[in-house]
Amino acid sequence: MSPNIIGISGNTARPSRTRFLVEVITAEAARVTEGRSAVFDLAEIKVDLASAQSSHELKGAAASIVDALLSADALVVASPVYKASYTGIFKHLFDLIDPKALIGKPLVLAATGGSERHALVLEHQFQPLFSFFGAAIVPTSIYATENDLSAATGLSPALRQRVDRAGLQLRQLIAERRRTPAFLEVA
């Protein structure tokens, strides 16, 4: 069965470099895994998402996105960087997720920012959040600035290399998870 890879873009407005980056990473992951993919943008559901205090309060598109996230074989998650962290709506989405729901789920971390000085956000903000959930995070995280990507010119060679490597690492984690699902069960 081909894997289902879901991309989550934590941007709050459109157009978005973050959404573009998530689309590129998710498409590459689907290509190398021979899977299928979908990308969701939190800007589309920010009002419904922000008003929910629990996942049970989500309705419509917000509930559908959470269902897709939970049922995915793998995730690509990204947010623009604001004040050295992910967006509040991105964090709120994951505040609504059961702590055991992402255990062992293969995951690519990505972020976009205005300069290279924010690149460590992936290690200092994203890694702890998804380690808390017990997700299987690929070793290659992807940080991009405006110079690294654009809809007109595509990706810089260095960014393309990281996207390709993350896709291959995700493929490996998906295969490992399918071989050893009992290892990931929670008592």
- Give 139-184 pLDDT, tens digit per residue: 999 999 988 986 677 899 999 999 999 999 999 999 999 888 655 5
Residues 6+ apart with CB under 8 A from 159: 142, 144, 148, 149
Residue 13 pLDDT: 85
Residue 185 pLDDT: 55
pLDDT in tens, 129-150: 999 999 999 999 999 998 898 6
Tokens 């939970």 correspond to what residue? 70
Asked if residues 25 and 167 have their Cβ atoms less than 8 Å apart, the reply is yes
Q: How confident is the model at residue 117 (pLDDT cuts 50, 70, 90)?
A: confident
Tokens 């800007």 correspond to what residue? 43
Residues 6+ apart with CB under 8 A from 150: 17, 20
Residue 15 pLDDT: 85
Q: Work out the end-to-end distance of the chain between its first and last CA atoms, rounded to an integer number of angstroms.
A: 27
Domain coverage including residue 24: 4-184
Q: How confident is the model at residue 9 (pLDDT cuts 50, 70, 90)?
A: very high
Specify the number of domains making up the chain: 1
Residue in 85, 106, 128 with CA at minimum distance from that of residue 6: 106
The Cα–Cα gap between 106 and 11 comes to 22
Q: What pTM did the predictor assign?
A: 0.93
pLDDT in tens, 40-61: 999 999 999 989 999 999 999 9
Token readout for 125 is 């903000």
The CATH number for 72's domain is 3.40.50.360
Q: Whole-number mean pLDDT of the chain?
A: 92
